[in-house]
Chains A and B, each alone.
Chain A
Amino acid sequence: DAGVIQSPRHEVTEMGQEVTLRCKPISGHNSLFWYRQTMMRGLELLIYFNNNVPIDDSGMPEDRFSAKMPNASFSTLKIQPSEPRDSAVYFCASSSRTGINEQFFGPGTRLTVL
């Protein structure tokens, strides 16, 4: 079975450019999570969705960040405009809401903003 799929795996862009990260959750999972990982701040939850609806976006750093989930099999995280301090690894994870919610992580997107 395919796990969580993220694209691109690596992104290098210049400050001020728009960046879009993509995620396909595991089929049948109805919760989706976006995380950011940096050396300084560790692993931070940015936002999560249940049944395509954003539930908690309190971790989104500022208005430059936005996330959407137009359907059960696709989500995007957009940064516009990007800044060097956004450089990080961004992970998407999905889970089923039944029982204890083990989260399955994708391989991550390594973003570098120059």
Chain B
Amino acid sequence: GDSVTQMEGPVTLSEEAFLTINCTYTATGYPSLFWYVQYPGEGLQLLLKATKADDKGSNKGFEATYRKETTSFHLEKGSVQVSDSAVYFCALQGQGAQKLVFGQGTRLTINP
């Protein structure tokens, strides 16, 4: 079945550092890919998405590119802020499906 694998956390960085959170997936066909973010005490919020190969999703300085050849959707940000501290989830939605399949989440802490 479809699955998503994220890099193990937690990840701790200093403010203004470069961020990469790795995400790879297994799916048949052409899934849509998502990054969700969960701030402390809140539900998940969509951060960005990409619906076909080579698409780049971007939002709030975060970017991720849908790479079908490597089945990856790595999240990047050039300069992180303390306010980016949260748990980040990579997810896929199979072609024609409604269900989202989530990775295990990566906890990110940014120190001032």
Q: Is the CB of B44 within 8 A of A42?
A: no
Contacts of A55 in B (CB 8 A): 98
Contacts of B71 in A (CB 8 A): none
Contacts of A33 in B (CB 8 A): 100
- Among the 9-residue stretches A63-71, A74-82, A100-108, the one with 4 or more Cβ atoms under 8 Å from chain B is A100-108
Cβ of A12 within 8 Å of any chain B Cβ, yes or no, is: no
Contacts of A45 in B (CB 8 A): 99-100
Q: Which of A4, A43, A50 contacts B98 (CB 8 A)?
A: A50
- Chain A's closest residue to B32 (CB) is A100
Q: Is the interface of A mostly helix, strand, loop or mixed?
A: strand
Q: What number of A residues sit within 8 Å (CB to CB) of B?
A: 23
Cβ of A91 within 8 Å of any chain B Cβ, yes or no, is: yes
A29–B104 CA distance with the chains assembled, in angstroms:
27
Cβ of A56 within 8 Å of any chain B Cβ, yes or no, is: yes
**Interface code B51-67, partner A: CB below 8 Å = 1, 0 otherwise?**
10000000000000000
Q: What number of B residues sit within 8 Å (CB to CB) of A?
A: 20
Q: Is the CB of A102 within 8 A of B46?
A: yes
Q: Is the CB of B42 within 8 A of A107?
A: yes
A50–B44 CA distance with the chains assembled, in angstroms:
21
Q: Can you show 26 pairs from A to B with CB atoms below 8 A apart?
A: A31-B98, A33-B100, A42-B103, A42-B105, A43-B44, A43-B102, A43-B105, A45-B100, A48-B98, A48-B99, A50-B98, A55-B98, A56-B99, A91-B43, A91-B44, A100-B49, A100-B93, A101-B93, A102-B34, A102-B49, A103-B44, A105-B36, A105-B44, A105-B45, A108-B42, A108-B43
Instruction: List 19 additional A-B contacts (Cβ < 8 Å) besides A33-B100, A48-B99, A102-B34.
Output: A4-B43, A42-B104, A42-B105, A43-B89, A43-B105, A45-B99, A50-B98, A55-B98, A97-B98, A100-B32, A100-B49, A100-B93, A101-B98, A102-B46, A103-B44, A103-B46, A106-B43, A107-B41, A108-B42
